[in-house]
Homo-oligomer: A and B are copies of this chain.
């Protein structure tokens, strides 16, 4: 069922809030980089952004949060992506679309993201702040996956919370990997395409077990891969058995 449309904040209030947060973040980034993180006070950040100290604390709980102005809004947007997913979409695909929203947050301002990455590498407390922010997305995905295991699988569900958490962490790890590589390359290149590639690799490698019974959308009718001592065959049960068997037999003989 589609979600009812929520009454939006007045757009001017939203724009104002957004502008203040961006100004504070830009001021914090500049001060951290120019005079050092420890030497910078909240008062200085507020003054540089032209607002009062109490305004700073309406937007951020602490100094180390100030350079991450967008995670709160992005978390809300990711939640909306999950809530508005079509019922037929594979839950893992929905989660991949969710984390793509996070990636876009970084990709929208490559220069800012690259500079912030430089700061997070130098200042452990900023790095830890960012790790904690990303953990919030992971918890959201875990809850979503847990609520969307396919009941038609009829399996013992005792391990569902474990599998949901592991699958969510895999998606977030893929995002982190792709994002970090892009940031190290100076924010150049199509990072969203790189993330899509990572999702394909993960599904090919780990994906057969995720989702509790539904075929992954990208799965061909039958695939066989032989790596060293193991042959792995994945087939849709509605594929022709004869065709599947031929493929597997060939792989076994060739091994």
Once bound together, how far apart are the Cα atoms of A216 and B14, in whole Å? 53
Once bound together, how far apart are the Cα atoms of A194 and B174, in whole Å? 27
* Contact status A166-B162, CB under 8 Å: no
* 8 tightest Cβ-Cβ pairs between the two chains A and B: A213-B228, A205-B209, A169-B173, A128-B132, A237-B255, A213-B227, A233-B233, A206-B206
Which chain B residues lie closer than 8 Å to A214 at the CB level?
228-230
Q: List 25 A-B contacts (CB under 8 A).
A: A124-B132, A128-B128, A128-B129, A128-B135, A131-B131, A131-B132, A159-B201, A162-B174, A162-B198, A166-B205, A169-B172, A169-B173, A205-B210, A212-B228, A213-B229, A214-B228, A214-B229, A215-B229, A226-B237, A230-B234, A231-B244, A233-B233, A233-B234, A245-B248, A245-B252
A165 and B152 contact, Cβ closer than 8 Å, known pairs A235-B230, A253-B241? no
A52 within 8 A of B: no
* Contact status A227-B212, CB under 8 Å: yes
